[in-house]
Amino acid sequence: MLENLKFAQTHEWAKLEDEQIVRVGITDFAQSELGDIMFIDLPEIGRKVAYQEHIAVVESVKTASDLFSPVSGTVIAINSAVQDEPELVNENAFANWLFCIKADNPDELAQLMNVDAYQQMIGQ
């Protein structure tokens, strides 16, 4: 499953769902470092974002962490389940996506890491 994902240095994962739709979440490493997630502030549907623009915030008992967009485009969906139950991300970070972006240029994903490079970065 992880082989289909791309990873940002800021610990977001991204999955190209079709030619333009990119599903985004945080990595298991990120959720474990954050601890118990208490609140997730997701972007507005329709918001235009640039590559690496600040897009959301995940708050845990330890800290608040900014999330950044892995592609330029328009937010087309948010996962309201994780807004209502943020602990779902702690339970399974890769199954509980946060938002989807219709990418202006899906080729931007090539700038992200594959699973092997990400695991090497986090020392696993």
Residue 65: helix, strand or coil by DSSP?
strand
Residue 42 CB coordination number (10 Å)? 20
Mean predicted lDDT score pLDDT of the chain: 96
pLDDT in tens, 77-86: 999 999 999 9
pLDDT in the model for residue 65: 95
Which residue type, as a one-letter code, is found at position 16? L
Architecture of domain 2-104 in CATH?
Answer: Beta Barrel (2.40)
Cα–Cα distance, 119 to 99 (Å, whole number): 23
Domains of the chain, residue spans: 2-104
Closest CA to 100 of 59, 50, 43: 43
Q: Which residue has the tokens 């080729």?
A: 107
| pTM listed for this prediction | 0.95
Q: Tell me the per-residue pLDDT of 61-79, one tens digit each, with 9 for 90 and over.
A: 999 999 999 999 999 999 9
Continuous segment of H or E residues that includes residue 83 = helix 80-84
